[in-house]
């Protein structure tokens, strides 16, 4: 069975601080994909990143970076120099084959000006 755990329900940080959102997943499969999505108050899900299980390279995109570690089944997301516009709910998700996405419960991030 697939499972995604986002233990942090809510996080608040002051603007310009760095913040890391944790994601731990469970799967018996060797081939899978991991995703991060941002859901701002307007509701739409914004695709941030997809990572396949064979690519453990960390990725940086502007202020965003992702740390994928298969040894600990984690795919953590860090926002550097946070901004108020980063306030949203962030979901981590797992995809096996072409089956449905399994979502974590989300982390509500609030950036305090």
Task: Select the residue interacting with other proteins from 33, 64, 67, 78 (CB under 8 A).
Answer: 33
C-alpha 35/C-alpha 56 separation (Å) is: 13
Q: By CB under 8 A, how many residues form the interface with other proteins?
A: 20
CB 86 to other proteins: min, Å: 19
Task: Select the residue interacting with other proteins from 68, 104, 109, 111 (CB under 8 A).
Answer: 104
Instruction: Give how far Cα 28 sits from Cα of 18, 33, 37, Å.
Output: 33, 13, 23
CB 16 to other proteins: min, Å: 27
Tokens 């997809």 sit on residue? 50
| DSSP type of residue 53 | T
C-alpha 113/C-alpha 34 separation (Å) is: 31
Q: Does 77 bind other proteins (CB under 8 A)?
A: no
Residues that bind other proteins (CB under 8 A): 33, 35, 37, 43-45, 47, 50, 52, 91, 93, 95, 98, 100-101, 103-106, 108
């Amino acid at each position: 069975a697939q499972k995604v755990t986002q233990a942090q329900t809510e996080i608040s940080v002051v603007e310009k601080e760095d913040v890391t959102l944790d994601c731990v997943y469970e799967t018996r499969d060797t081939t899978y994909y991991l995703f991060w999505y941002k859901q701002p108050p307007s509701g739409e899900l914004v695709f941030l990143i997809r990572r396949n299980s064979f690519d453990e390279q960390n990725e940086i995109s502007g202020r965003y970076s992702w740390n994928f570690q298969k040894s600990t089944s984690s795919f953590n997301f860090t926002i550097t120099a946070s901004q108020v516009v980063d306030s949203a709910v962030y979901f981590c998700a797992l995809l096996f084959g072409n089956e449905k996405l399994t979502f974590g419960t989300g982390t509500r991030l609030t950036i305090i000006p």
